[in-house]
Amino acid sequence: MITDLWYKNAVIYCLSVGTFMDSNGDGIGDFAGLERRLDYLQGLGVTAVWLMPFQPSPKRDGGYDISDYYGVDPAYGSLGDFVAFTHAAKQRGLRVLIDLVVNHTSDRHPWFQAARKDPDSPFRDWYVWSKEKPATASEGMVFPGVQKTTWTWDAEAKAYYFHRFFAFQPDLNTANPAVMAEILKIMGFWIQLGVSGFRMDAVPFVIAQKGADLKGEPREQFDMLRDFREFLQWRKGDAIILAEANILPKQDLDYFGDDADRMHMMFNFQVNQATFYALAAHDARPLAKAIARTKPRPLSCQWGTFLRNHDELDLGRLTDKQRALVFEKFGPEKGMQLYDRGIRRRLAPMLDGDPRRIRLAYALMFTLPGTPVLRYGDEIGMGDDLALKERDCARTPMQWTSEAQGGFTVSDRPVMPVIDHGPYGYRHVNVAQQRHEADSLLSWMQSVIRMRKEAPEIGWGEVTAVETGRNAVLALRYDWRNNAVLCVHNLDPGPIEVAVETGVPAPEGHLLVDLLTGQRSEADERGRHCLCLEGYGYHWFRVGGLDAPLRRTPA
């Protein structure tokens, strides 16, 4: 049983060590530089830091092609630097999550090299092989349009090997007990060095049965999830797994577990995609439906809510018509799209840099059911560089100042190009400038994060969609421990007046106090609140006032 549900009301900040802060001038971010920026993250208000892969890797896939699970890439520092970082984070009350990438390894990993060289090697069965090219070799590619097959011939092994992702990322045979034991060993190693959990990459592929003879729908081995959970709880009672699992709502409980004995958290891809359609169509109804469809989950489990992450904005769960509209509004050019299913831009340029739309989008995200996850640079509205290939366009270095290379490094050869031109260049968009401007996105984000942490109802409570009579307005009420919060967002560019009933009996339901502005709303004689929302406007109300606890039964 987990001993601390800290993740239920957390704010998670995702970053790449290599593009966050360079401390030694070699052009590559490192753990020493990240440690220096921990005070910034603490001041921003986040409570957990999620690190993208930092282990040794050929870096052909952004570090997700790992060649050593027990080390730190020398460009980022040493294991000692990592431990110094986790210790410094703990001193500031920040937890650390790291990526757990165990669906595949790099083809340069010693395990795979041993497996391909000798059919009698104990590592041979750590991967998935076939003497003949399987009939399904042209199916199931994760990167359509870039990836050509899922089975590649290896001349030295004299066999085909399976790779759900790129050919240089052979899949591990996770059904092999020795592989499973090694995964647990990897988890235990990093837990011992101070991490509080893992973001597990590609979970459906980790637990899927693999082999040349498999046909039809994937068959998942869900007992593996329970094994991961039990191991973590034994080693560190408050450690968690945040699962990347882009699945249908009917499978949610398969991953959480009916008894909350599998994944602690999952990213809510259904709500994420519905959010972007809602923003594009100015229509909250599909988003409300997505929230309802993903509502059932055990009390101790949690959704991770997000807008943009380090991958493309995946729109694969939308209908063709819905996807076409999102493409039209947010990624109309072919170069802005990726893998025939998504958009590769960052959020700010997708929304034309409009402060009203950007703030509405994040205000909405912070009030969706679950725990918000921010990407580095989100807080200042960083842009993208579409000249870079595939997903790299949204992975450019953090912009700290208006100095050369955005203050990321003193080197004139950064690991990736810093955005240095246009409205999103570091001279116009950077931390140093925004931290001294009261109306900047950074100042606004700090305030909103503080308010979100003071509204635990959103992380813990029961969510109910409140009728507004207007398709463009989403109103969500959260009830927890006899308290309620009502969050109202207008997705339309024009002002809208709505009348809402809180669903909370008088006298508490007759008073709303805005957590963001302090403004008050008194209900009319019929118990309704008449609210005027400006274009892309929003209100976060505490029902019944800010001080006294409510005397009622939660809805």
**Active-site positions?**
201, 244
CA distances from 288 to 87, 92, 245, 458, 486 (A): 41, 37, 21, 15, 14
Q: How many CB atoms lie within 10 A of CB 409?
A: 25
- Rounded to whole angstroms, the Cα distance separating 393 from 406 reads 17
Q: Where is 95: in which H helix or E strand?
A: strand 95-100
Residue 347: phi, psi to the nearest 5?
-65, -45
| Residue that has been written with the tokens 């560190």 in this structure | 236
Assigned token pair, 169: 């990322």
* Helix ranges (DSSP H) in 282-354: 285-293, 320-330, 347-350
| Residue that has been written with the tokens 């055990």 in this structure | 298
- Rounded to whole angstroms, the Cα distance separating 553 from 555 reads 6
Residue 361: phi, psi to the nearest 5?
-60, -45
Which residues have CB under 8 Å from 181's CB, separation 6+? none
DSSP-derived secondary structure for 33-86: HHHHTHHHHHHHT--EEEEPP-SS---SSTT-S-S-TTS--TTT--HHHHHHHH
Note whether 317 and 269 are within 8 A (CB).
yes
β-strands 197-200, 313-314 pairing: unpaired
What number of CA atoms fall less than 13 Å from residue 60's CA on the CB side? 13
Which residues have CB under 8 Å from 180's CB, separation 6+? 174, 224, 227
